[in-house]
Amino acid sequence: MVFVHLYLGNVLALLLFVHYSNGDESSDPGPQRRAQGPGPAPTLGPLTRLEGIKVGHERKVQLVADRDHFIRTLSLKPLLFEIPGFLSDEECRLIIHLAQMKGLQRSQILPTEEYEEAMGTMQVSQLDLFRLLDQNRDGRLQLREVLAQTRLGNGRWMTPENIQEMYSAIKADPDGDGVLSLQEFSDMDLRDFHKYMRSHEAASSELVRNSHHTWLYQGEGAHHIMRAIRQRVLRLTRLSPEIVELSEPLQVVRYGEGGHYHAHVDSGPVYPETICSHTKLVANESVPFETSCRYMTVLFYLNNVTGGGETVFPVADNRTYDEMSLIQDDVDLRDTRRHCDKGNLRVKPQQGTAVFWYNYLPDGQGWVGDVDDYSLHGGCLVTSGTKWIANNWINVDPSRARQALFQQEMARLAREGGTDSQPEWALDRAYRDARVEL
């Protein structure tokens, strides 16, 4: 019974993207023990993690033959670095050119009714939902408790104002104080909520992510500059070639004037019910949720931006992480259109500079632990001009065994198949049609 309750909690939490740590780890087997596959699982060595030392620390590295680079520590939480001149101006221009040739698509379109359907089939009682939303357990839903559940917006970014508008439209908050009692919440018909959301088409400025992007292949046979950049990333991260080569292609992103990306984390939470997009080939198909497992983000600035467009880390090096002090009833620090100036750390785009950080904490055994809450980041409003960046994500499965099986399987496919079945191509195909993630 406890297990069922925990399970339901996890699934709900996943659906609502709640970040919490489950203190009772002994009651579920965890992904590490659930991964299965053919043959004995090989073991993988410890994952490299650069030392931060302290904010402002600089180290010299040799990544290319003709010059030195300097890596500067920007924060320890998340473990975040900057490296000026990682790409040459020519390389930046080439990446933009290749992306334009391939064509970019909207990064986010308003999703279908998937979410509503999922909620319908879940048969979750309204009381359970209330309990999950009521984080401070005071028996009332504050505005910020609703704001915290970004998924409720179903792709639309929620502000205190539009939640109050919605309450007013569906008459959910008769006393108009912005707080829902359990009674007021129970009286609400969730179908009215969904109807309201459907009836109000969101402008792109009202979405979580307002940009265009495309993917550029970096595997064998790719443009030699794309190959060179992958090799440079490999030297930078000091991870194994297998991990880097089997990671996502390069995502090139264009933010037009007015573009933004509200603060988010690049990886989904680590639950037994999740599988990683990059290793799903070897995962148990019955696991219900798929998420990105991005050990590192390596972000390149491809141009100088005329106005705005900084990358913000709202809680970098905060003493504590507390979602509810991040999201106040009036100021939501995750809102990159309104509140970038209040974030702890902002990086101004500079052509050729790379920033990179770790999205997971270590687990203490040389592998990946929990998602690092402090890795929360976003793209600030571009107030003038266009902003071009590229993301080189390094994928690692939090299940060491599943990552090992995946690498083994991809190596086997590469040996057996022809050029068309090379691992990178398979991966590129998978990502080409990937659904847009929030």
Nearer Cβ to its own copies (301/374):
374
For the bound state, the minimum distance from the C-beta of residue 47 to its own copies, rounded and expressed in Å, comes to 12
Nearer Cβ to its own copies (137/319):
319
For the bound state, the minimum distance from the C-beta of residue 342 to its own copies, rounded and expressed in Å, comes to 14
At residue 209, the 3 state secondary structure works out as: strand
Total residues in contact with its own copies, by rule CB under 8 A: 20
For the bound state, the minimum distance from the C-beta of residue 333 to its own copies, rounded and expressed in Å, comes to 14
369 binds its own copies (CB under 8 A): yes
Q: Which stretch binds its own copies (CB under 8 A): 122-130, 134-142, 285-293, 357-365?
A: 357-365
Residues contacting residue 4 through CB under 8 Å, at least 6 positions apart:
none
For the bound state, the minimum distance from the C-beta of residue 371 to its own copies, rounded and expressed in Å, comes to 11
Nearer Cβ to its own copies (53/411):
53
Residue 333 identity (one-letter amino acid): L
C-alpha–C-alpha distance, residues 409 and 415, integer Å:
10
Q: Which two tokens stand for residue 265?
A: 């984390």
Nearer Cβ to its own copies (26/199):
26
Q: Which stretch binds its own copies (CB under 8 A): 297-305, 331-339, 367-375, 408-416?
A: 367-375
Q: Which two tokens stand for residue 405?
A: 């099986």
**DSSP run (H or E) holding 133:** helix 126-133
Q: Which stretch binds its own copies (CB under 8 A): 28-36, 267-275, 355-363, 427-435?
A: 355-363
For the bound state, the minimum distance from the C-beta of residue 54 to its own copies, rounded and expressed in Å, comes to 6
Nearer Cβ to its own copies (69/213):
69
Nearer Cβ to its own copies (58/117):
58
Beta strands in 121-211 (DSSP E): 140-141, 180-181, 209-210
Residue with tokens 């302290």: 54
C-alpha–C-alpha distance, residues 371 and 396, integer Å:
12
Q: Among residue numbers 278 through 337, which ones bind its own copies (CB under 8 A)?
A: 317-320
CA proximity to 376, closest of 251, 211, 262: 262
Q: Is 4 exposed, middle or buried (0-12, 13-18, 19+ CB in 10 A)?
A: exposed
For the bound state, the minimum distance from the C-beta of residue 301 to its own copies, rounded and expressed in Å, comes to 25
Q: What is the DSSP letter of 4?
A: H
For the bound state, the minimum distance from the C-beta of residue 204 to its own copies, rounded and expressed in Å, comes to 34
C-alpha–C-alpha distance, residues 273 and 29, integer Å:
11
Residues contacting residue 41 through CB under 8 Å, at least 6 positions apart:
35, 401, 404, 405
C-alpha–C-alpha distance, residues 171 and 411, integer Å:
58
157 and 208 Cβ atoms separated by less than 8 Å: yes
Q: Among residue numbers 27 through 86, which ones bind its own copies (CB under 8 A)?
A: 51, 53-55, 57, 59, 76-77
For the bound state, the minimum distance from the C-beta of residue 237 to its own copies, rounded and expressed in Å, comes to 16
For the bound state, the minimum distance from the C-beta of residue 324 to its own copies, rounded and expressed in Å, comes to 17
296 and 358 Cβ atoms separated by less than 8 Å: yes
Nearer Cβ to its own copies (103/364):
364
C-alpha–C-alpha distance, residues 168 and 271, integer Å:
36
For the bound state, the minimum distance from the C-beta of residue 346 to its own copies, rounded and expressed in Å, comes to 14
C-alpha–C-alpha distance, residues 70 and 204, integer Å:
38
Nearer Cβ to its own copies (88/344):
344
Binding site for its own copies (CB under 8 A): 51, 53-55, 57, 59, 76-77, 317-320, 344, 361-364, 369-370, 372
